[in-house]
Amino acid sequence: MGLLDGKQLLVTGVLKDNSIAFHVARLAQDEGATVVLSSFGRMMKITQAIARRLPKPAPVVELDVTDTEHLDTLAARVGEHVDHLDGVLHSIGFAPQTALGGNFLQTSWEDVATAVHVSAYSLKALAVASRPLLRPGSSVVGLTFDATVAWPVYDWMGVAKAAFESTARYLARDLGPEGVRVNLVAAGPLRTTAATSIPGLDAVEATWAERAPLGWDVTDPEPTARACCALLSDWFPATTAEIVHVDGGVHAMGV
């Protein structure tokens, strides 16, 4: 019996087979779940191609989290493939290059607004759009990068992640009475497509394994995917508004 036997999940953010979302989808299928993916625009064809590398075929629905029409119709379109959702994985983030790489003091509000909209507000937008398909016991899981400190080069994405983590707490408050859990996984640096687009992030990677009591492999998304699947399962029925760190222990270490 798999950890996610009979579960129906919506997984966002599958871009390439090195993405955390891809490994969550793969592991979820291995553990018995039915998975629906989302993508948008020119990325749709890429996601559809990558989906063929999963253990089982997975449909891909279009979702731009900044598009009101996409959000308003999401439940109906996902509902063409599953009759409810036991879990939703939020693996979405974007900041313009001007908001990253040491440009903190120069970044315009317009670019900051884009980062916050796509990377933070979208958690609320996705949860509300999925709400008609959620039911007591459903789980919303998001991916973050520890926002309690200021990281080199992460700049306004770090601010957006702080807003993202706060949004998760408020969602947990408001969806809890409906029996829906909202939790986050804070992963250490991984060489995903999103991470490699951040200029200078390799400086953070370089010291991570040295600081991590358990060590850290920037090429291995499996531990993070396992944590996500565990939170999407029934094994944490009374856990919400939590951030689970999968970072080798770096978050708890001093300099």
Q: How confident is the model at residue 225 (pLDDT cuts 50, 70, 90)?
A: very high
With a cut of 90, say whether residue 64 has pLDDT above it. Answer: yes
**Which of 51, 40, 44 has the alpha carbon at shortest distance from 17?**
51
Please give the positions annotated as active site.
154, 161
| pLDDT single digits (tens) 35-54 | 999 999 999 999 999 999 99
Distance of CA 160 to the CA centre of its chain: 13
pLDDT for 230 = 98
Residue 246: pLDDT above 80?
yes
* Average pLDDT value over all residues in the chain: 95
Buried b (16+ CB within 10 A) or exposed e, 136-173: eebbbbbbbbbbeeebebbbbbbbbbbbbbebbeebbe
